[in-house]
Structure 1
Amino acid sequence: MKKITIAIDGFSSCGKSTMAKDLAREVGYIYIDSGAMYRAVTLYSIENGIFDGNDIDTEKLRKEIRNIRISFRLNPATGRPDTYLNDVNVENRIRTMEVSSKVSPISALDFVRTEMVAQQQAMGKEKGIVMDGRDIGTTVFPEAELKIFVTATPEIRAQRRYDELKAKGQEASFDEILENVKQRDYIDQHREVSPLRKAEDALLLDNTNLTIEQQKEWLFEQFNKVSGIQ
């Protein structure tokens, strides 16, 4: 069975990461969460004085971006990869609302995207990977054999994010999350560098009314077709 590259793009809180992680684990591929990489850069910026309120010291970040190294290591307890920022596990810290509210303007910076894309492409040279994000099928791996574009209504996505945060014991406001989802959608689609869009050869998956099991079944069917299993 040939190894392929799988690119899963789409809007925030669509369940892209869950889909990608599950598929990678089932087929023995490496999972790379590109969104976590931008979240890690955002966390670094918050913790190192690059943010002043919502303003970004772009020159400081530009000087430091080459020193921001992001990697993924399997967590034996969860069976899924955790995100490491310069060798420190930041998986939980990058999932807060503070990071969520600041990640889109960071990810819109051209030099940030250039560095992250270079790191992502280096991770994916050997194929046998599943990567999810905003521009994987259009910019990072335009030659990926399987491209999926995921969408769902903003309200459904906000509810999923709300439930996720509450399950972790974090305080959350549905209205604040919904507004954040809508703002991120706008920024992601209208940024100058690698805007969020469906690649021409990507398969569209609207999972507004799908269960996780239904998503899995659909995704495995597409993987089997492309990888030559059926």
Structure 2
Amino acid sequence: MSFTIAIDGPAAAGKGTISKAIAAHFGFAHLDTGLLYRAVGRHTLQGLDPVEAAHALTAEELDQGDLRTAEIAQAASKVAVIPEVRAALVDFQRAFSRRAGGAVLDGRDIGTVICPNADVKLFVTASAEVRAERRFLELEEKGADVTRGQVLADVRERDARDSERSTAPMKPADDAALLDTSELSINAALAKAIEIIEQVQHTAR
């Protein structure tokens, strides 16, 4: 029996951390769909055509540890606006969402495009300033040479690109529960998300 949880939201809102924790809590498989676009973005930085890279992508590439750099994040955001790239990756994501035992997928268009019939849809967000501060501290810890102003500008630029693209723009699904983490700890946000999911499971019984 499958149970699909779709989690969307902008960069650094906490959706990745929340998604992984939800998957662990319920014993579901987890897919960070942003890694698909990061893997394609990395290929384009190496000079490959983005559409060809998307068609040739394998699951093994998602386990390679260098996909979380700021450069690859920007490349991922740029290839994500290409309709042919998105189309090439749709089947991969939908197949994952239907796996027996339950699945949690997080990204930008899971509830609106990839899994419009998901059992639960969450849109995890936070203010641009809060998200930029989180990302800045993350990058600073890794030794990156960036300023708070640069990171905030990057966050706003990425938000605009993700929400204004013509194909599958980032937006909450009409039936998504909104989870604003601006003033919530990860534990508090996770508790709220679990409560929403358990309510749906209880109603479905």
Question: One fold, TM greater than 0.5?
Answer: yes
* 2:19 equivalent in structure 1: 20
TM-score normalised by L of structure 1:
0.83
Q: What is the rounded CA distance, in whole Å, between the counterparts of 1:215 and 1:183 in structure 2? A: 26
Is 1:68 matched up with 2:57?
yes
| 2:44–2:50 Cα contact (<8 Å) kept | yes
Q: What is the rounded CA distance, in whole Å, between the counterparts of 1:140 and 1:209 in structure 2? A: 29
Whichever residue aligns with residue 46 of structure 1, its letter is: L
Q: Structure 2 unaligned segments of length 5 or more: list them.
A: none
Identity %: 34
* 1:36 equivalent in structure 2: 35
Q: Structure 1 unaligned segments of length 5 or more: list them.
A: 51-59, 72-83
| 1:3–1:227 Cα contact (<8 Å) kept | no
1:63 Cα deviation (Å)? 3.4
1:65 Cα deviation (Å)? 2.9
Q: What is the rounded CA distance, in whole Å, between the counterparts of 1:220 and 1:198 in structure 2? A: 18
1:102 Cα deviation (Å)? 2.2
* 1:216 equivalent in structure 2: 190
Counterpart selection for 1:90 from 54, 61, 64? 64
Query: By percentage of residues, which structure has more strand?
Result: 1
* 2:89 equivalent in structure 1: 116
SS at match of 2:67: helix
Whichever residue aligns with residue 200 of structure 2, its letter is: V
Q: What is the rounded CA distance, in whole Å, between the counterparts of 2:166 and 2:111 in structure 1? A: 17
* 1:185 equivalent in structure 2: 159
- 1:75-224 → structure 2 map (5 Å cutoff): 84-85=60-61, 89-91=63-65, 93-127=66-100, 128-224=102-198
What root-mean-square deviation, in Å, do the aligned CA atoms of Structure 1 and Structure 2 show? Answer: 1.8
Runs of 4+ in 1 over 6 A off after TM superposition: none
